[in-house]
Amino acid sequence: AQKVTQAQTEISVVEKEDVTLDCVYETRDTTYYLFWYKQPPSGELVFLIRRNSFDEQNEISGRYSWNFQKSTSSFNFTITASQVVDSAVYFCALLSGSARQLTFGSGTQLTVLP
Amino acid sequence: DAGVIQSPRHEVTEMGQEVTLRCKPISGHNSLFWYRQTMMRGLELLIYFNNNVPIDDSGMPEDRFSAKMPNASFSTLKIQPSEPRDSAVYFCASSSLFLSTDTQYFGPGTRLTVL
């Protein structure tokens, strides 16, 4: 069975602070994909990144960076110099094996205060 | 390029009424997914289609829910009769079976309120 745990329910930071959102996953498959989605207050789900299980290279995109560590089954997301517009719920998700449905974590509500 | 399109964006109805939600996937995508989001249960997969064929409907909560995909560019999710506990945001997502990425792109969602 697949499982995604986002232990941080809510995080509040002040603008320009760095913040890391944690994601821990469980799967028995050797081939799998990990995703992060952003859900701003407007409600839509916005795709941010996808990583496959064979590529542990960290990735940076502007102020966003992702740290994938198979040894700890984690795929953490860091926002550098946070901005008010980063306020949203962030979901980590797993797609593994032959199953094509995403397993979502419960989400982390990030609030960036001005 | 147009993303996943859903209609209506908001639906308010009374218990017992039939509700139909609509989805147009991204052109060229051949997998389509229906999810439901509630505070209590988070994001749940209801059903998904590959090449217009339903593959897994184990997430459909009851017989009151049905989904169809008559062609590659259109899908519906119907609730008949609707109940207050069906109130939720319903998302449609699509992806390409032919690409190895399997990245699902979501529509804006339909917020359903059943009174």
Instruction: Say yes or no to pLDDT of B100 above 90.
Output: no
Residues on chain A touching B96 (C-beta within 8 angstroms): none
Across the interface, whether the CB atoms of A50 and B103 are under 8 A apart is answered: yes
How high is the pLDDT of residue A60?
87
The answer to whether the Cα torsion of B23, B29, B34, B40 is positive or negative is negative
In this complex, the residue of A37, A100, A104 whose CB is nearest that of residue B31 is A100
How high is the pLDDT of residue B56?
87
Between residues A43 and B97, the one the model is more confident about: A43
Q: Report the pLDDT averaged over residues B89-105.
A: 82
Residues on chain B touching A100 (C-beta within 8 angstroms): 31, 48, 50, 55, 95, 102
Strand partners, B36: B44, B90
Give chain A's contact residues with B (Cβ, < 8 Å).
33, 35, 37, 43-47, 50, 91, 95, 100-102, 104, 106-107
With bands split at pLDDT 50, 70 and 90, how would you rate the model's confidence at B32?
very high
**Nearest C-alpha neighbor of A92 from the set B96, B42, B90:** B42
Task: Report percent pLDDT > 70 for chain A.
Answer: 97
Residues on chain A touching B43 (C-beta within 8 angstroms): 91, 102, 104
- The nearest CA of chain B is from the CA of A13 a distance in Å of 23
How high is the pLDDT of residue A1?
79
Between residues B92 and B61, the one the model is more confident about: B92
**Cβ pair B102, A95 in contact under 8 A:** yes
Instruction: Say yes or no to pLDDT of A10 above 80.
Output: yes
How high is the pLDDT of residue B102?
75
In this complex, the residue of B45, B48, B106 whose CB is nearest that of residue A45 is B106
The rounded distance, in Å, linking the Cα atoms of A97 and B2 is 30
Tell me the pLDDT tens digit for each residue of A17-62: 999 999 999 999 888 999 999 999 999 999 999 998 988 888 888 9
With bands split at pLDDT 50, 70 and 90, how would you rate the model's confidence at B72?
very high
- The nearest CA of chain A is from the CA of B31 a distance in Å of 9
How high is the pLDDT of residue A94?
93
Tell me the pLDDT of chain A averaged across its residues: 93
Measured between alpha carbons, how far is residue A14 from residues A8, A59, A78, A84, A89 in Å? 17, 24, 15, 9, 16
- Best of B34, B48, B101, B103 to substitute, by most chain A Cβ atoms within 10 angstroms, is B103
Q: Report the pLDDT averaged over residues A3-29.
A: 96
Written as six digits, the tokens of A63 are: 């102020």
Residues on chain B touching A31 (C-beta within 8 angstroms): none
How high is the pLDDT of residue B34?
97
The rounded distance, in Å, linking the Cα atoms of A74 and B5 is 33
In this complex, the residue of B33, B89, B109 whose CB is nearest that of residue A101 is B33
Q: Report the pLDDT averaged over residues A88-100.
A: 86
Q: Report the pLDDT averaged over residues B35-64.
A: 92
**Nearest C-alpha neighbor of B59 from the set B75, B77, B71:** B77
Written as six digits, the tokens of B31 are: 């997998």
DSSP letter at B51?
T
